[in-house]
Structure 1
Amino acid sequence: MKKLSEISPGIAVIIRQIENDELFLKLMEMGFIPGEVITIEQVAPLGDPISVSVAGYSLSLRLNEAKSVLVEEVYKKTA
């Protein structure tokens, strides 16, 4: 698993866990539910914030918030 902050734009991932208990409810209200597929749309020039597509809409997420979300790639590339 990787942190959401480590994922490149255009990659679809599945939310597996939210590590920060303080952010858990806030992120859940925005659609960050474990098992939900999300896609990184854009990263700001300095890396913060990032834009993600989740539950049919786009939202911005601070990098420190994205570091609390553990994800797994939807499609693993094979060699």
Structure 2
Amino acid sequence: MTLDQLKIGASGTITSVGGDGPLRCRLLDMGLIPRTRVTLQKIAPMGDPIEIRVRGYELTLRVEEAEKIEVKEDA
């Protein structure tokens, strides 16, 4: 599943980060690297953007960016 498919309050572990060139580098620079745990905190009223908690801070991503991050949902 991708990061944008998590439910509010659900957590998962990043398995891979897709995207091309600068976008992928930016996502990795923000701490979104494989084996990192993330939690979906909020979804904006119109569905975009979403807020996640990663490495102790909140990060807001567009759904388009979140679709490029593969996660395995925690049981």
Q: TM-score, normalised by structure 2?
A: 0.93
Aligned-residue identity in percent: 36
Classify the secondary structure of the residue corresponding to 1:26: helix
Across the aligned residues of Structure 1 and Structure 2, the Cα RMSD in angstroms comes to 0.8
Q: Which one has the largest radius of gyration?
A: 1
Partner letter of residue 5 of structure 1? D
For residues 25-75 of structure 1, give each alpha carbon's deviation from its aligned partner in whole angstroms, at most 9, with x where no partner exists. 101111101000000000001110000000110010001000000000121
Classify the secondary structure of the residue corresponding to 2:4: helix
How many positions carry a matched residue from both structures? 74
Q: 1:52 corresponds to which residue?
A: 52
Structure 1, unpaired ranges of 5+: none
Spell out the pairing of 1:1-79 with structure 2 (5 A cutoff): 2-22=1-21, 23-75=23-75
Q: TM-score, normalised by structure 1?
A: 0.89
